[in-house]
């Protein structure tokens, strides 16, 4: 990294990065505790992981301004492992997850993000926004009226204050004001301290206490592989969203390696596996964070808050943090995707909505994205299959018919291809010109073979010309009727 890059990524936005990092650091505390509870481990496991992963990705990640820590998507995948085998196996699985992610990064898996359609990405992001909002509802049910008052006042501060000043991030002001008010007025409302005990010391280095044998590998490998894939998918989508919000590029392969190294390190300090967080990254960007300093500050401030300010943090009303997370869900949701429902192609709307609802109802981000990609592939293939055009030219003497085919011939376009020919026409010679077409698979060769066979049964001499080299090679390997086909060298 040269001096120019160092200044741009670390020191071009110091004040805003530090303040945004403080907001994110506070917002990380209840989430890390909640995700620890979901995974079935002590709150300090999620808190230590969030601190270490944020700090490591600040230096090694591929997307400045992106926030990584313990996440709900990863916590959901750990439940059975912790329940059946305990914390030490989770730490071993976290270590292996990191190793796999580093390997994926070295294999440049980040390039494969181009195969994730935009409709799938929007569906994923919208689902995340909805799930973030739904996750706040338990904090708003069967609670004292003061909780609703604090939540509404926090939202007022968050949305109104920026109209007058942006010197300090409005979520940070809301958290500070509501905490002081709750303490001064001695309000009986749920606080961060009610979520779990905050750790009182720095994380210590230790190796996962598991047997180093094949049995252990068989136990942790399936979990690690799933965690590695889901973690990278979430991190890549987070990086892509920050790219969009800041109009700047990211290095996704470096992001994969950075996430991997962060998970390896956190496993040695008693932390659970984590990944990129869309919600927290949106908070960071909306609070003014742009550089690596904001990511580092979020981790450092998280640790500072739980070790030094823990007496204050413990009294922070959950209502204020709920308001911040509601702001995150509103900011994360792509409202333009709803406004443009009638403007974008119907198939993309179906893909976006399916990805979104599958993710919401299953709480499985990998399943939602995989479903969206499969649907996009099917719809795209159907569109391409329809783009087969056949021009028909009859010679002046009426004995020679030429079919000029243009388009992509593959298994889905077989029907359109065959329907373009008139096999009942009585002519002496037929020429099928494929100079504007491409044969992609065995189905394409089969359908050309079938057309040749049908014309021959009617007594016509058939010639296939114009095959490009790739199509000719495929045809030469698989076709039955090669005699009348001109195959390029």
- Find the range with the poorest average confidence among 221-235, 282-296, 328-342: 328-342
Confidence band for 481, pLDDT divided at 50, 70 and 90: low
Percentage of residues in the chain with pLDDT exceeding 70? 98
Residue 182 has pLDDT above 90, yes or no: yes
Residue 404 has pLDDT above 80, yes or no: yes
Residue 414 tokens, joined: 């077989």
Residue 458 has pLDDT above 90, yes or no: no
238: closest CA among 284, 272, 271? 284
Give the pLDDT of residue 489: 59
pLDDT (mean) for 451-457: 87
Say which residue, 309 or 298, is predicted with more confidence: 298
Mean pLDDT, the chain, rounded, equals 87
Question: Is the Cα torsion angle 231, 248, 321, 363 positive or negative in sign?
Answer: negative
Give the pLDDT of residue 342: 86
Give the pLDDT of residue 486: 62
Confidence band for 258, pLDDT divided at 50, 70 and 90: very high
- Find the range with the poorest average confidence among 104-118, 252-266, 421-435: 104-118
Residue 38 has pLDDT above 80, yes or no: no
Angle 256-283-26 (CA atoms, 0-180°, nearest 5)?
95
Residue 459 has pLDDT above 90, yes or no: no
Percentage of residues in the chain with pLDDT exceeding 90? 34
Cβ neighbours for 77, distance < 8 A, ≥ 6 positions apart: 223, 226, 227, 230
pLDDT (mean) for 6-25: 88
Query: Which residue has tokens 């020429």?
Result: 431
Give the pLDDT of residue 482: 64
Cβ neighbours for 417, distance < 8 A, ≥ 6 positions apart: 388, 390, 405, 409, 447, 448, 451
Give the pLDDT of residue 275: 93
Residue 40 has pLDDT above 70, yes or no: yes
pLDDT (mean) for 452-478: 86
Report CA-CA distances (Å) from 69 to 152, 153, 264, 306: 28, 28, 13, 15
Confidence band for 215, pLDDT divided at 50, 70 and 90: very high
- Find the range with the poorest average confidence among 99-103, 158-162, 305-309, 480-484: 480-484
User: Which of 94-103, 109-118, 171-180, 201-210 shows the highest mean pLDDT?
Assistant: 94-103
């Amino acid at each position: 990294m040269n001096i120019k890059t160092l200044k741009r990524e670390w020191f071009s936005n110091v004040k805003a990065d530090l303040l945004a990092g403080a907001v994110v650091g506070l917002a990380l505390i209840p989430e890390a505790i909640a995700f620890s509870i979901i995974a079935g481990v002590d709150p300090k496991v999620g808190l230590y992981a969030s601190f270490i992963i944020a700090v490591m990705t600040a230096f090694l990640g591929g997307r400045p301004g992106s926030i990584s820590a313990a996440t709900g998507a990863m916590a959901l995948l750990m439940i059975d492992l912790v329940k059946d085998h305990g914390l030490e196996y989770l730490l071993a699985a976290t270590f292996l997850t990191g190793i796999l992610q580093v390997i994926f990064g070295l294999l440049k898996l980040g390039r494969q993000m181009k195969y994730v359609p935009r409709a799938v990405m929007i569906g994923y992001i919208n689902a995340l926004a909805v799930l973030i909002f739904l996750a706040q509802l338990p904090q708003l049910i069967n609670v004292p009226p003061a909780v609703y008052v604090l939540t509404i006042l926090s939202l007022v501060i968050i949305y109104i204050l920026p109209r007058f000043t942006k010197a300090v991030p409005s979520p940070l002001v809301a958290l500070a004001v509501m905490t002081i008010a709750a303490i001064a007025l001695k309000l009986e409302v749920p606080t961060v301290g009610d979520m779990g005990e905050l750790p009182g010391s720095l994380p210590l280095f230790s190796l996962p206490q598991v047997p180093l044998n094949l049995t252990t590998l068989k136990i942790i490998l399936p979990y690690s592989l799933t965690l590695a894939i889901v973690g990278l998918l979430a991190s890549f989508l987070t990086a892509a969203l920050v790219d969009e919000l800041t109009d700047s590029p990211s290095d996704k392969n470096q992001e994969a390696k950075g996430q991997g190294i962060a998970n390896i390190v956190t496993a040695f300090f008693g932390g659970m596996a984590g990944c990129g967080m869309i919600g927290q990254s949106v908070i960071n960007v909306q609070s003014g964070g742009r550089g690596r300093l904001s990511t580092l500050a979020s981790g450092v401030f998280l640790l500072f808050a739980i070790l030094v300010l823990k007496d204050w943090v413990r009294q922070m009303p959950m209502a204020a943090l709920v308001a911040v997370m509601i702001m995150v869900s509103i900011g994360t949701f792509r409202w333009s995707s709803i406004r443009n429902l009638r403007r974008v192609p119907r198939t993309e709307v179906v893909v976006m909505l399916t990805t979104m609802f599958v993710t919401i109802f299953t709480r499985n981000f990998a399943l939602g994205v995989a479903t969206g990609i499969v649907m996009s592939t099917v719809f795209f293939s159907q569109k391409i299959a329809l783009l087969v055009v056949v021009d028909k030219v009859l010679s002046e003497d009426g004995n020679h018919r030429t079919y000029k085919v243009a388009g992509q011939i593959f298994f889905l376009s077989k029907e359109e291809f065959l329907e373009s020919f008139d096999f009942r026409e009585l002519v002496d010679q037929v020429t099928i010109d494929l100079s504007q077409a491409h044969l992609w698979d065995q189905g394409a060769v089969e359908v050309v073979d079938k057309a040749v066979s049908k014309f021959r049964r009617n007594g016509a001499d058939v010639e296939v010309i114009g095959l490009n080299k790739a199509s000719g090679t495929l045809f030469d390997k698989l076709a039955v009727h090669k005699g009348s086909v001109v195959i390029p060298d």
